[in-house]
């Protein structure tokens, strides 16, 4: 008899086990889905290895068998898959926690997402057996030649035992579950087990037997003719694949004969849970099959990353079965499949946008953030430009979406540009001094709330005849030619005399501010604000500038143009004061104050002390005058 050794579980696993063992979770039957899915994975691996090497070809049928012993209160799942060596057992179910284990534990404790879908998505399925088991033993023999069978046993608390066996066992794995007392009746009931298997494992690619009866019936749904498949079947398959509890938002069943032959069944999930939990950002991509044989789960060569919200299965005819995962990467067939699939997904989205705007909006709300990264896909630039959505000054609220085409349908006569501005929120943008002229002229501006939006705009550049222009880069003279819709409060024209004083005043302000600004000039774009900062010609937008500075860890304040609104009451007062005494200290104080307030608005003011001090002294003075005048 070989030695028996005892090993401690890794800490994360213990924690997870603790949650599972004590879970009051009602849908405990999903443990069977997980055991069957592992058995199916093991069979897929066996088939893959056997077809790519010469060591295949024994007579064991590839299948999964579930049996029960009512008296002993046990349930057993047997597969004829790859099996595991001693080292593999230790690595796979004991020592090494999956990367997501800690995250799963956190989410499970939060209790917002059903444990059911968490377990499936996080790849910790094996341990779910401890929701129903007092003890589990895994007896397994690897397909590797001369591999010795091993037995792993554990009550799922703190440690597990390992033992090499002298027996000569067939290839594969046998999992024996000693059921908890209160669950024995339920999970030794063959009829119940059959219904559990049909519910959760109907699409498994290998025959599943419960007792002597084969239970699952629908493998490879993607190879069936479309007209034979009901939407319920599609939804069922989606749930099987994604562990989602809801139906898919969209289903794409694709059959292509040229330039390469393949079938695909793709889905757009109703919610972007992977993205929201920040987890699984690396686990995306459809499962790749070659003529029904699973080659790789979540293959990333099949779709570009900006379509990573798409889940599903792709089954290619024209690839050799023994293709290695490494050579998939620069395989010409794969590239053709990928390019065809990408086009198909984009077409589907275009059609959806056209036929069902509400549903498209739902899609955008969930997956738009990911999709936007598609600005790097230059080949599909035009289609991308049709599919992106933004909020707009013309929308009723922050949730409404506008396409570039929508914008174009609303442009003013003679308008040749599409304008956009980046800001933290709709409120912030609605108050931005840079947009005052747009409000005055009633010209629409697309509102961008995420840094990536500006990259997208930069990449799109043109839409039909229209150039995409950042609002802060728009030429005020061009805008000024449009009719004014929102009148400024009636202001008197500056007299000849005042106009020349203004020039001197601006020069004086420049003198006060020195090198902190490149230029001080009269502004055309302002109506409500006394000043704003703008970029010297040919510069990137302020938000882009901020991103670039953040990346290069540059914390200095950029030098900009100070634009002054000659029609603002404060500026008019400054002109009067300046006329009386060019050296009045108020001019200097006001110049500093206006400049720093503008910096504050742009998010560049790092030290507010001087600004606050000045406000306080100005308030003290003005309140003094107020008291006196009473």
**Interface ranges with Mg ion (CB under 5 A):** 38, 125
What does the alpha-carbon distance between residue 78 and residue 76 come to, in Å, rounded to a whole number? 6
Closer to ligand ADP by CB, 106 or 504: give it: 106
- Does 204 bind ligand ADP (CB under 6 A)? Our answer is no
Task: Pick the closest to residue 300 from 319, 281, 316, 274 (CA basis).
Answer: 281
Instruction: Report which secondary-structure segment, H or E, holds 366.
Output: helix 357-371
- Does 42 bind ligand ADP (CB under 6 A)? Our answer is yes
What does the alpha-carbon distance between residue 307 and residue 310 come to, in Å, rounded to a whole number? 6
Q: Nearest residue by C-beta to Mg ion?
A: 125
Q: Which residues pair with 436 in a beta bridge?
A: none
Interface residue with ligand ADP, options 114, 123, 442, 451 (CB under 6 A): 123
Q: What is the CB-side half-sphere exposure of residue 510 using CA atoms within 13 A?
A: 15
- CB of 273 vs ligand ADP, minimal distance in Å: 17
Cis omega before residue 259 (within 30°)? Answer: yes
- Does 95 bind ligand ADP (CB under 6 A)? Our answer is no
Q: Where are the beta strands (DSSP E) in 180-292?
A: 208-210, 213-214, 250-256, 262-268, 287-290
Closer to ligand ADP by CB, 79 or 301: give it: 79
- CB of 95 vs ligand ADP, minimal distance in Å: 11
Candidate ranges 31-39, 322-330, 518-526, 576-584; the one touching ligand ADP (CB under 6 A): 31-39
Q: Nearest residue by C-beta to ligand ADP?
A: 123
- CB of 34 vs ligand ADP, minimal distance in Å: 6
Q: How many residues bind ligand ADP (CB under 6 A)?
A: 17
- CB of 298 vs ligand ADP, minimal distance in Å: 11
- Does 82 bind ligand ADP (CB under 6 A)? Our answer is yes
- Binding track over 167-196 against ligand ADP, x by CB under 6 A: ------x-----------------------
- CB of 395 vs Mg ion, minimal distance in Å: 45
Instruction: Report which secondary-structure segment, H or E, holds 37.
Output: helix 30-52
Closer to Mg ion by CB, 125 or 368: give it: 125
Q: What angle do CA 308, 366, 16 make, to 5 degrees?
A: 75
Q: What angle do CA 314, 318, 323 make, to 5 degrees?
A: 85
Contact present, 314 and 288 (Cβ < 8 Å): yes
Q: Where are the beta strands (DSSP E) in 412-568?
A: 417-422, 445-448, 462-463, 466-470, 517-522, 531-534, 560-564
* Both structure tokens of 526: 């302002």
Interface residue with ligand ADP, options 29, 44, 79, 301 (CB under 6 A): 79
Contacted by 144, from ligand ADP, Mg ion, none: CB < 5 to 8 Å by type: none
* Both structure tokens of 333: 């067939």
Q: Which residues pair with 253 in a beta bridge?
A: 265
- Binding track over 259-298 against ligand ADP, x by CB under 6 A: ----------------------------------------
Site for ligand ADP in 555-594 (CB under 6 A): none
Closer to ligand ADP by CB, 280 or 391: give it: 280
What is the binding site for ligand ADP (CB under 6 A)?
A: 34, 38-39, 41-42, 79, 81-84, 92-93, 123-126, 173
């Amino acid at each position: 008899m070989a030695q028996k050794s005892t090993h401690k579980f890794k800490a994360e696993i213990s924690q997870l086990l603790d949650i599972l063992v004590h879970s009051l979770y009602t849908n405990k039957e999903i443990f069977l889905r997980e055991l069957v899915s592992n058995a199916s994975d093991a069979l897929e691996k066996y088939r893959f290895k056997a077809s790519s090497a010469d060591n295949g070809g024994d007579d064991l049928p590839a299948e999964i068998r579930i049996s029960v012993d009512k008296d002993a209160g046990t349930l057993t799942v047997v597969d004829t898959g790859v099996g595991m060596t001693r080292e593999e057992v230790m690595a796979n179910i004991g020592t090494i926690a999956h990367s997501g284990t800690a995250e799963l534990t956190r989410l499970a404790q939060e209790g917002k997402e059903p444990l059911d879908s968490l377990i499936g998505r996080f790849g910790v399925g094996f341990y779910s057996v401890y929701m129903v088991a007092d003890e589990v033993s895994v007896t397994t023999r690897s397909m590797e030649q001369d591999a010795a069978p091993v037995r792993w046993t554990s009550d799922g608390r703190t440690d597990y035992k390992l033992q090499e066996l002298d027996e000569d066992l067939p290839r594969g794995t046998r999992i024996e579950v000693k059921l908890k007392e209160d669950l024995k009746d339920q999970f030794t009931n063959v009829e119940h087990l059959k219904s559990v298997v049909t519910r959760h494992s109907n699409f498994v690619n290998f025959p599943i037997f419960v007792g002597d009866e084969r239970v699952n019936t629908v493998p490879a749904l993607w190879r069936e003719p479309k007209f034979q498949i009901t939407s319920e079947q599609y939804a069922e398959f989606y749930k099987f694949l994604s562990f989602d509890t809801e139906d898919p938002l969209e289903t794409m069943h694709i059959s292509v004969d040229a330039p390469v032959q393949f079938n695909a069944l793709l889905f757009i999930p109703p919610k972007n849970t992977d993205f929201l939990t920040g987890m699984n950002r690396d686990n995306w991509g459809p499962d790749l099959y070659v003529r029904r044989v699973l080659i790789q789960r979540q293959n990333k060569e099949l779709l570009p990353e900006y379509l990573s919200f798409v889940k599903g299965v792709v089954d290619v005819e024209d690839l050799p079965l023994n293709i290695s995962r490494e050579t998939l990467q620069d395989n010409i067939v794969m590239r053709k499949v990928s390019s065809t699939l990408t086009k198909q997904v984009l077409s589907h989205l275009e059609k959806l946008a056209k036929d069902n705007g509400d549903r498209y909006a739902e899609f955008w709300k969930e997956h738009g953030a990911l999709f936007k990264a598609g600005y790097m896909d230059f080949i599909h630039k035009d289609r991308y430009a049709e599919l992106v959505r933004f909020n707009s000054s013309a929308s009723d609220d922050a949730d409404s979406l506008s396409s570039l085409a929508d914008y174009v349908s609303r442009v003013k006569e003679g308008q040749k540009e599409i304008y956009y501005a980046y800001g933290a929120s709709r409120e912030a943008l609605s108050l931005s001094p840079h947009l005052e002229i747009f409000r005055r002229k009633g010209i629409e501006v697309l509102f961008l709330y995420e840094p990536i939006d500006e990259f997208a705009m930069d990449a799109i550049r043109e839409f039909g005849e229209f150039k995409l222009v950042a609002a802060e880069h728009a030429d005020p003279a061009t805008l000024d030619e449009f009719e004014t819709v929102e009148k400024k409060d009636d202001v008197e024209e500056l007299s000849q005399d005042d106009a020349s004083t203004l020039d001197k005043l601006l020069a004086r302000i420049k003198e006060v501010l020195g090198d902190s600004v490149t230029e001080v000039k009269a502004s055309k774009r302002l109506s409500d604000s006394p000043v704003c900062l703008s970029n010297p010609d040919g510069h990137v937008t302020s938000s882009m500038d901020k991103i670039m500075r953040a990346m290069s860890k540059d914390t200095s304040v950029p030098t900009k143009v100070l634009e002054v609104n000659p029609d603002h009451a404060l500026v008019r007062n400054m002109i009067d004061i300046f006329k009386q005494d060019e050296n009045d200290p108020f001019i200097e104080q006001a110049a500093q104050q206006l400049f720093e307030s503008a910096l504050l608005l742009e998010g560049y003011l790092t030290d507010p002390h001087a600004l606050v001090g000045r406000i306080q002294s100005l308030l003290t003075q003005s309140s003094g005058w107020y008291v006196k005048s009473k």
